[in-house]
Amino acid sequence: MYLTQLSFGPRIGRQSRDTLAAVAEDYLGSLCRNGQTYGRSCSAWVEGNFVAYLYAARPDALELRFHSEWSARALDAATTSFGQPPTWQILDDRKPVRNRPWQRSSSLYLFTHAFDSTSPICCGDTGEPIPMYLLPIDQLLRERLYFWSRDYSDIDSLCLSCGGLEIPAYKQMADPESEHAQSGRDYCAQIEQATGKPTYFFLHRYWGRREGESDRPCPQCGNPWSVDRASSSSDDFHEFPFRCEPCRLVSEVASTVEDERHARIGEYRPPRPSL
């Protein structure tokens, strides 16, 4: 992502600064929800001009061709209010890199964490986040994915705080039947339908078992899902040691086996026999 300055211009007419700032912030928010920018923007009136600093997903991310219908509408409102379209400038010294086209990805997966503000949709071959505005998914799904990733980040933060909500938060990330995981899996199915790329949902795994951890079955269907990595020397995150093709689930090796009481969270539970 690239640090970018977005200049809206000076106050015109009788509109208050607060009114103009609200119009500009609405446009900034639409860019973020569409995946064109990452994280929170910082804005202020500087020498009579309203200026915002933000992170663009790519050097060309703010081009009009990438706007959704909603962000284009917000841009029109900002242009009308300020009497001119906003101008943007990449401030980052890094030279733009040629990005791998998402169409070359053999698969995708959905993942984020407490300290991530980039796209939650990642390339299954490289692990790199793929900006949502590049994918052929509608603007409503992009917005829902944006809010889903923010919720996931909050859940992960609760888990990391190790307070009273640690275990409930962990269950939301580790159990494929949790409310948040179910939403994410539904979004994965929609992404796969739109892109034609197998799209997996990542299940967090922190607590594991001392024995049998590497052979644990898929938590959804109960079938083996351990991946043979003998031919791979890579320890990259996207080289998931667990992957179930039918269930479209991927996971990691447990981080600790010191407390097996919580290892059952996210594990397969055989159906109860009917009476």
Q: Which of 127, 85, 101 is nearest to 237 (CA)?
A: 127
Per-residue pLDDT at 76 exceeds 60: yes
Q: For residue 101, what are its two tokens? A: 């086209």
Upper half-sphere CA count for residue 269 (Cβ side, 13 Å): 9
Q: Which of 158, 165, 159 is nearest to 255 (CA)?
A: 159
CATH of 2-90, one of 3.30.420.40, 1.10.150.50, 3.30.70.100, 3.60.15.10: 3.30.70.100
- Close Cβ partners of 7 (under 8 Å, ≥ 6 residues apart): 49, 50, 51, 86, 87, 88, 89
Q: What is the mean pLDDT of the chain?
A: 92
Question: What three-state secondary structure class fits 261?
Answer: helix
Q: Which of 188, 198, 195 is nearest to 137 (CA)?
A: 195
Q: In sequence order, what DSSP letters do the residues of 221-238 get, joined into one string?
A: T-SB-B---TT-----TT
Q: How far apart are CA 22 and CA 8, in angstroms?
A: 12
Calculate mean pLDDT across residues 201-205: 97
Question: What three-state secondary structure class fits 155?
Answer: helix
Per-residue pLDDT at 144 exceeds 50: yes
Q: Which amino acid is at 187?
A: Y
Q: For residue 3, what are its two tokens? A: 């640090």
Domain with CATH 3.30.70.100 in the chain: 2-90
Q: How far apart are CA 79 and CA 76, in angstroms?
A: 5
- Close Cβ partners of 96 (under 8 Å, ≥ 6 residues apart): 2, 58, 59
Q: What pLDDT was estimated at residue 35?
A: 96
What 8-state DSSP symbol labels residue 46?
Answer: E
Q: If pLDDT is split at 50, 70 and 90, which confidence band does 231 have?
A: very low
* Stretch among 9-23, 33-47, 63-77, 109-123 having the lowest mean pLDDT: 9-23
Q: Could you tell me which residue, 270 or 167, shows the higher pLDDT? A: 167
Per-residue pLDDT at 236 exceeds 80: no
Q: Provide the percentage of residues in the chain whose pLDDT is more than 90.
A: 83
Kindly report, residue by residue over 254-266, the tens digit of the pLDDT. 999 988 889 999 9
Q: What pLDDT was estimated at residue 234?
A: 56
Q: How far apart are CA 167 and CA 192, in angstroms?
A: 31
Per-residue pLDDT at 270 exceeds 90: no
Q: How far apart are CA 44 and CA 60, in angstroms?
A: 24
Calculate mean pLDDT across residues 198-207: 96
Q: What pLDDT was estimated at residue 166?
A: 94
Q: What is the pTM of this model?
A: 0.91
